[in-house]
A = this chain, B = another copy of it.
Amino acid sequence: MSSVRVIAREAGVSITTVSRALNDDPSVSPQTRERVLRVANRCGYGPTIGRRVTTNVGVAYTQDVTIGHPFDASVLEGVTRGSNEQRFDVVVLHLQRDKRRGETYTQFFRRKGVPGVILRTNMETRHVCTKIAEEGFPHVVISERFDLPLVNWIDCESRTDSFRAVDYLITLGHRRIAFGMSGATDRDHMDRFEGYRQALAARGLPFCEDLVFKNQFTMAGGATVMNMAVGLREPPTAIYFADPMMAVGAVQMAHALGIHIPGDLSIVGFDDTDVRYSVYPTLTAVCQDATQLGFQAAMWLTNMVTGASKEPFQKTIPTFFEINHSAGPAPAVSPGGAATEGRAGEVVLQPAGPAATAVAHPAPGVAT
């Protein structure tokens, strides 16, 4: 990490000009400014408070800041706890608002006084993470995966439990199982979809394109999917929702439509907080521990920044499948009144290994 002095020498200007360029002083000419910033990028640059190193861990979004969402809140809780172990504070940064054109990400973070950053991203903006990694700035991406070895990330593996969840439905006698999800195209969501497809295939059930519903990741989206699903000529007897609030909205819509869950229709949800316990019936769901994601990311990052660790960090932590009360045996007749595929009379398959090891949850109303 070099100073204005070094940058001035390299760029062939005075330190005065470097200071001005770094602080967006309008008096400096665009060409000079650009040259200085380019050099600053190459050398690395960061302000200090006296000689003290700042001890803030940054949290930044490559997309819109969604810090109030339950998932993000849980992640932040973990980040705060993890940073705490190394006596770091957590600062929420605004990449879109504050990053200057021409400024590198490294420069931006240094200027903000953070020696490392935890990133939230999505499909459209994940290239930002790659860029940050290429610049060599200490970082961890939460809840996303990258093939490039230089990007650090931590992610939940949801394919296995998605498979398990759908297989569980199959062992309960369901043959027409729908899949509901947001339009998100990140690896995590693709995994859930893959788990669904593979579970069908493993049991020899056909994959049916019109049983795949994409909608908003909100209660409204889930409610819409529920409406559409039961309106099919051959409605599903179970739906796996791979986004948390969609399952909640779907259950509420089922209540509104007089559809009994799980008697008429089974639902398996996805949860990254505790919302599954607020729903009635409590949701059988694939769950991810968002706090763990944040905690482990912060632990590694602070260790990296203090020099205690030099290892790269690519980590997958498992989801868990929790059986509550929203999924049950397939009904003999589907909610729409149409006969099921004629397989309802079949011998119900015994639960496969994975489903048998799932977490069995205690009585409703006792959990918090």
Interface residues of A (CB under 8 A from B): 19, 23, 47-50, 52, 54, 56, 65, 67-70, 72-74, 76-78, 80, 84, 87, 89-94, 97-98, 112-113, 216, 218-223, 226, 245, 248-253, 255-256, 275, 277-282, 291, 363-368
Partner of A219 from the list B94, B113, B256, B365 (CB cut-off 8 Å) is: B365
Q: How far is the CB of A225 from chain B (nearest CB, A)?
A: 11
Q: How many copies does the complex hold?
A: 2
Residues of B within 8 A of A69 (CB): 73
B77 with A67: CB separation less than 8 A: yes
Assembled-state Cα–Cα distance A250/B74 (Å)? 24
A219-B67 in contact given A49-B49, A90-B91, A92-B90 (Cβ < 8 Å): no
Assembled-state Cα–Cα distance A55/B220 (Å)? 39
Q: How far is the CB of A356 from chain B (nearest CB, A)?
A: 25
B98 with A220: CB separation less than 8 A: no
Assembled-state Cα–Cα distance A28/B87 (Å)? 23
27 A-B contacts, Cβ less than 8 Å apart?
A: A48-B49, A49-B113, A54-B113, A65-B84, A67-B76, A67-B77, A68-B291, A73-B73, A73-B76, A76-B76, A80-B92, A84-B94, A89-B92, A89-B94, A90-B92, A91-B91, A218-B368, A220-B365, A250-B365, A251-B280, A252-B277, A252-B365, A253-B364, A255-B365, A256-B365, A279-B280, A280-B280
